[in-house]
Structure 1
Amino acid sequence: MRSRELDPSASPLDYYGYELRRAREAAGLTLAQLGSIVFCTGSLIGQIETAAKVPQREFSERVDAALGTDGAFSRLVGLVLRSQLPSWFQPYADMEAKAAYISTYQAQLVHGLLQTEAYARAVLSTRDDGDIDGKVAARLDRQRILERDQPPVTWVVLSEAVLHQAVGGREVMREQLAHLLYLQKRRWLEIQVLPFGAGAHTGLMGSFTLLRFDSDPDIVYTEDFVQGHMTANPEAVKEGSVRYDHLQAAALSVDDSAALIARVMEERYGNEPEPDGRDMA
């Protein structure tokens, strides 16, 4: 592979690649040798060193172990993955990671914190604007906040339409709905479904998210097709809170929501042949 010089100050991805090459060469290893140690190809190592590929967290942990870098790459990879998020979304992701309470209503899609890898890939693939693998890895890395010893209290209201919108096909949706049922078992996370039968409701204007903090002002976040909008304006937060309370009241209970998710999963995405005739696993 042709080597190219990176400017380590250009981006977190460039800095990661620069430091990986420097550490590998200091250890006296070729691309292929390091690849064999961390269970990947030398070509992939080269692509990461030249900032052509985005490293993932497991890869970084293996590199740290192989090169004895005391967790340096495991710490750096979080910055790299965060940099793969759209620039307009990064401020929200920073606040999301600090929130003590997350309340969200989603009208069309499963919230990013709850998406499976396959579902996220299907969503992000609707736009061909770069390294999809890196963008998927960045989205999944956001979900690490739910794995903390003290995760944010997260309450999600999904429109029933989310369950029926066949993102990625039958198999992807079956896996995604099964994942929602699995997440229902978590103490700090609750999922409700707003049924079609609710009729007109306070979420008709679209999806939105409320973030609450232990010591900072509350925030309401919305998106349009261009970018996101985040505000701590007290009137906007109050309006969002009232709308969310009404949505929770109109939604099914947590148990009834789980039953509906399970029913849609079996009836709509069950073990039937795909349109091309392949049987589902």
Structure 2
Amino acid sequence: MPTRRVEPSRAFIASYGEALQQLREGKGWTQAQLGRKVWLSHARISQFEAGDSLPPQDVAVLLDKALEANGVLLDLWDRLNDDPNAKWAQKILATEARTVHFRHVTNVVPALLQTDEYAREILARGIPYYGGDLDEKVAYQAQRRKVLHTSNPPQFWAILEESALHWRIGGADVMREQLAHLLDMAAKSYVHLQVIPFSDVALIPETGMTTLLTLRNGRTIAYRVDIKPGVYITKPGTVAHLATQYDHLRRSALTADDSAALIRQVYEENYRV
């Protein structure tokens, strides 16, 4: 089988297509033959195999059954799908609800600090690949954010690259509201927001997009988003190493006051009405 060239942004979806193609060829079927068994055109099967998009859940069930995959395709679909009802999405929600201390590193505005409109713009970019209901996805993110608005909220520490403040998501109104919200949240006693300036972004790669979550029972785990939907890390030695890297980044980042000043500067220079 020739090596498939896939855009990096679609690499994780392509893994479903590769599995689908291997199972189909294992049956000795053409794309048209598989399509007839699940009431789809061969062109649609080709799109799935090429990693252009994931099938809807009902089609994923039909494909798994037709190819006698015994749930393999369904498990892979669930891991790659960003629907709020996917198992991994519900696991994130449940884990965050049990978290008392977040330590987050990111190059975009952290999900728990996003406004609805900022989240909508981010999520809309994935619709061509994943499909699904955009309103449901925005509502799911809003549900996640509730953890920071309880009577006893967790401590939320975040380090973000300066580029997150300049990367325009949506129009000026979206960014104006988002930056103002960041400033409002950063003023809360339980939110600690620090920015890594452009001059120091080289410090970020080893830690990557990582969240350290300390749970109510005192245990700390990590969640990394190198490839969607991300993976949980529970090995104590690895978690300890990531925590050390986080502390190094925190000491190298701007202070909370200087970070707030930078956010306010970007707001004033670019989005003030």
The two structures have a TM-score, normalised by structure 1, of 0.63
Q: Secondary structure at the match of 1:186?
A: coil
Task: Render the CA deviation track for 1:78-121: whole Å, top value 9, x for unaligned.
Answer: xxxxx7254323212211110110110112x1111100010000
Counterparts in 2 of 1:194-273, with a 5 A limit?
A: 194-203=196-205, 206-271=208-273
Aligned to 1:94: 94
Contact 2:123–2:137 (CA under 8 A) maintained in structure 1: yes
**Counterpart residue identity of residue 119, structure 1:** Y
Gap regions ≥5 residues in structure 2: 1-82
| Equivalent pair of 1:217/1:232 in contact (CA under 8 Å) | no
AA partner of residue 266 (structure 2) = V
User: Match of 2:110?
Assistant: 111
Of Structure 1 and Structure 2, which has the larger fraction of its residues in helix?
2
How far does residue 224 in structure 1 lie from its aligned partner after superposition? 2.9
Structure 1 runs (4+) greater than 3 angstroms displaced: 202-205
- Provide the residue aligned with 2:46 in structure 1: none
Give runs of aligned pairs for residues 73-152 of structure 1, distance below 5 A. Answer: 84-107=84-107, 109-128=108-127, 129-152=131-154
The 3 A distance-change label for structure 1 pair 132 and 202 is closer
The separation in 1 between residues aligned to 2:237 and 2:163, in whole angstroms, is 29
Say if 1:211 and 1:185 are closer, same or farther in 2 by CA, change over 3 A: same
- Tell me how far apart the structure 1 counterparts of residues 190 and 201 of structure 2 sit (CA, whole Å): 29
User: How many percent of aligned residue pairs carry the same amino acid?
Assistant: 38
> What displacement does 1:219 show?
0.5
Structure 1: 5+ residue stretches without partners: 1-82, 272-281
Matches of 1:114 and 1:258, distance apart in 2: 14
Task: Count matched residues.
Answer: 189
Post-superposition offset of 1:162:
0.5
The 3-state SS of whatever aligns with 1:88 is: helix
Deviation, 1:203, is: 4.0
What is the SS of the residue equivalent to 1:212?
strand
1:159-214: CA deviation from partner (whole Å, max 9, x where unpaired): 10110110112221111000000001211111111111225214455210000023
Flag the 1:210–1:85 CA change in 2: closer, same or farther, 3 A: farther
Find the residue that maps to 2:258 and give its secondary structure.
helix
RMSD after superposition: 1.8
Cross-structure match for 1:279: none
What residue is the counterpart of 2:70 in the other structure? Answer: none
- Residue by residue, what CA displacement relative to the aligned partner does 1:230-281 show, whole Å, maximum 9, x if unpaired? 021111111110110011001111111000001111213344xxxxxxxxxx
Residue of 155, 171, 196 corresponding to 2:157: 155
| 1:189 is the counterpart of 2:191 | yes
> In 2, distance between residues paired with 1:235 and 1:214?
20
Query: How far apart, CA to CA, are the structure 2 residues paired with 1:199 and 1:124?
Result: 25
Rounded Cα–Cα distance in structure 1 between residues aligned with 2:238 and 2:165:
29
| Distance (whole Å) between structure 2 residues aligned to residue 97 and residue 207 of structure 1 | 20
C-alpha contact (below 8 Å) 1:102/1:209 kept by paired residues:
yes
CA contact (8 A) 1:209 1:221 kept: yes
Which letter does structure 1 place at the counterpart of 2:173?
E
